[in-house]
Amino acid sequence: MTSRSDTSVPDELGAHVSSRGGVANAPGRASDLNARVFQLFTKQPNRWAEPKVDAGTAAAFAEARERAGTRWCVSHDSYLINLASPDSSLWERSLRSFESELGRCAALGVEAVVTHPGNATDGDPARGIEANAVGLTRALEAVPDVRVLLELTAGTGTSIGATFDNLAAIRNGVPAALRDRVGVCVDTCHAYAAGYDLVDDYEGVWTAYEAALPLATLELFHLNDSQHPLGARRDRHAGIGEGTLGEGPFRRLMTDPRFRHVPKILETPKGDDEVSLDRRNLSLLRGFRSEA
């Protein structure tokens, strides 16, 4: 019988993998990492072009997932989308793009979409939060089934979503009938950059989370170390244990029973090799659990 902490057993850990050559190539790249959960882009994230998913692409992706044995997949939406924008033209374009992302995920059978809450470039975060909730509502009404995960941001510039209260306000702005389809993604680098001290006040962070949101809404972690110190509001990822967070918070996350089955995705630097550094970081994380 295999131990749950056996590092050879696929678990809730995975990585963002490339969709180069087509989305059907992504599940195999996750399998190369011994991962059964993964994140991908369904399109080029820095372009407005919105490709459609035809029946052949959807079938190929489903077959690739079956071969790879993946059990959960999440997409990350376009970096251009800004549902907090005060510019009505950009907001409408962002909404169309976000609806298209949800549509592609529905066609592919991707379980959820991670989204950044956007930037209130007019300096009015309350308006930006409301605008984001309106956009989410319209997109969720337009596309059934796919879940949306609001990603905690680092708080750079005019971005919203750098506090659990911000995320709660956005989620609460979605009508109750749709709200259960909205969860949260906590990026460890972003959390630390935003001032949540996972190093010296680990339990305090989760107390703050539960003061704003039910813990069950935390549906995904992005596991990234940070190049910058606590509260720097800079979004610069580092390999696990190679930044200012160090190994400590990741050891705790990997052995915290509250988060045992929450998917955990690497977005750490890959260097010139798409596989080796991800394998190293995943092995390190799995090792933390096996040490416990």
Strands 264-266 and 13-16: parallel
Domain spans in the chain, listed from the N-terminal domain onward: 13-291
Helix (H, G, I), strand (E, B) or coil at 42: coil
Is the pLDDT reported for residue 36 higher than 90? Answer: yes
Average pLDDT of the chain, as a whole number: 95
Is the pLDDT reported for residue 3 higher than 90? Answer: no
CATH of domain 13-291: 3.20.20.150
Q: What single-letter DSSP state applies at residue 164?
A: H
291 falls in which pLDDT band (50, 70, 90)? confident
Q: Which segments of the chain are extended strands (E)?
A: 13-16, 37-40, 72-76, 112-115, 147-151, 182-187, 218-223, 225-226, 237-238, 264-266
Is the pLDDT reported for residue 108 higher than 50? Answer: yes
pLDDT per position as a tens digit, 166-216: 999 999 999 999 999 999 999 999 999 999 999 999 999 999 999 999 999
7 falls in which pLDDT band (50, 70, 90)? very low
Find, among 76, 83, 267, 79, the residue nearest to 160 by Cα: 83
Q: What percent of the chain has pLDDT over 70?
A: 97
Tokens representing 276? 């080796």
CA angle 113, 240, 291 (to 5 degrees): 105
Q: How far is CA 47 from CA 23, 79, 156, 262, in A?
A: 16, 8, 22, 31
Is the pLDDT reported for residue 8 higher than 70? Answer: no
- Residue 207: exposure state from Cβ atoms within 10 A (0-12, 13-18, ≥19): exposed
Q: How far apart are CA 193 and CA 154, in angstroms?
A: 5
Tokens representing 227? 């190049």
Q: How far apart are CA 37 and CA 41, in angstroms?
A: 14
User: Cβ distance 49 to 43 under 8 Å?
Assistant: yes
- Residue 137: exposure state from Cβ atoms within 10 A (0-12, 13-18, ≥19): middle
Is the pLDDT reported for residue 17 higher than 60? Answer: yes
pTM above 0.85? yes
User: Cβ distance 213 to 180 under 8 Å?
Assistant: no
